Structure formats: structure tokens, C-alpha cells
Chain A
Amino acid sequence: EVQLLESGGGLVQPGGSLRLSCVASGFTFRNYVMTWVRQPPGKGLEWVSAISGYGGATYYADSVKGRFTISKDNSKNTLFLQMNSLRADDTAVYYCAKDTGHIVAVTGPTGADCWGQGTLVTVSS
């Protein structure tokens, strides 16, 4: 059974940093594109970032480009999202998700067929 378990969310002040982690199990982690999707309270879904199986290709939404960095450790089946210069509008539940595709397209993730339970990030003073 595919499982994704996020951690690392919490309360952070504007301008601060946070690192999210997602531990994967039940599939060959290095073979799949992995993504982060966020959802502000009461609002819709937004792709944040994606990374190819071996980490050579990445995708970022314009809203986080230059502030967030996605990475992965295939030896530990773990996906990361380093979030710097956080703003109030970054407040959201952040989901780790397994992409349906095997490459990172410039237009963004193909789709997500397995999701974690989400971790809440609150940016507030």
C-alpha cells in the first residue's frame, strides 16, 4: 500500500523558514516524480513544486519561485520542501503527492494519484 506521511508544519513568523518532510512507502520512490500541493484555509488547490525521480528536474509555481526549494533523498524515501522568506499568503495545508507521470513537464505536474494527510503551515506574527 502506498503511504505518504508529511511532517514539519507549524507556526512561523513572516520572513521565517520551515522545512517540510514527506516519508514515502509502498512504491519505488526513485522512479516517480513527487510533488507538493497546498491549500489555503477554505480555498482551492495549488501546485507548489515537483521533482523528478532522481532529482535532476524541478518545477516551481511562480508564487514560490526563488523562496522554496524541493529536494529528495532516495536512500531514505523522503521528499523535502525548504520554505524561506515565508509570507502570510503561504499559510496553507501542504500535501505531499505522488505524480502520475515519470517526467517533470515545464507546464507542471501531470497529476497526483496518492496524497499524504497534509501538514498545516501558519505564517503569522
Chain B
Amino acid sequence: DIQLTQSPSSLSASVGDRVTITCQASQDISNYLNWYQQRPGKAPKLLIYDVSNLETGVPSRFSGSGSGTDFTFTISSLQPEDIATYYCQQYGTFGPGTKVDIK
């Protein structure tokens, strides 16, 4: 089974900062990687699918990149509403999540 690891497990940044989260797969997963945002007490929301495609209605400050086993999720300018836990996912596996807070 494929394992996904995320780093960091949590981070604290200031409004306007650039935030980067990495997701590493235990084997080559080509371009099949999605990213979700889960705000406290809410259901997850799909932000990015197939590595770099922005879901409809998602702000352009969110982006994704990578291939093979190493993937990156970026928030170009952190906003207060971005406080959430972010998960990567490839088929039947979710990463452990990265909790993002405002400093």
C-alpha cells in the first residue's frame, strides 16, 4: 500500500506569508494527488486535484506542484480564513494532515 507523509505536521505563520506544505509518497504515484482543506468543525473541501488543478471557486493563492513521489502545496499569501488542516490524498490514502495557524 502507498503511504503518504506530510511535513510539517503543523505550522504557524503571519498573515501575508507564503506557506508551503510537502507530501511525499512511498512510491511513484504519477499525477494522482489531491489536496483538501478542513476548517475547524467543518467537512473537508477539495482545493486541488491531479497535483496542480484548482477546483472551481478556489482562490488563486492556493497552488500545487510536483510529480512522482514529491509534491508541494502552497498558499502564496496566508489569509485569516486559511486557518485549517490540510490533507494530501492519493486514491485510498490520505496524508496525516498539516495544521496551519496564524501567528
Contact = CB atoms under 8 A, between A and B. Distances in A.
B23 to A, nearest CB: 13
A111 B92 contact: no
A56 interface: no
B96 interface: yes
Contacts of B45: 115
A64 B25 CA distance: 24
A110 interface: yes
Given A95-B44, A105-B91, A111 B97 contact: no
A interface bracket (residues with beta carbon within 8 Å of B) = 20 to 34
Interface in A72-96: 95
A46 B44 contact: no
Interface in B17-74: 32, 34, 36, 38, 43-46, 49, 55
Given A107-B92, A111-B34, A44 B43 contact: no
Contacts of A53: none
Contact of B96 (A44, A95, A115): A44
A113 B56 CA distance: 10
A45 B46 contact: no
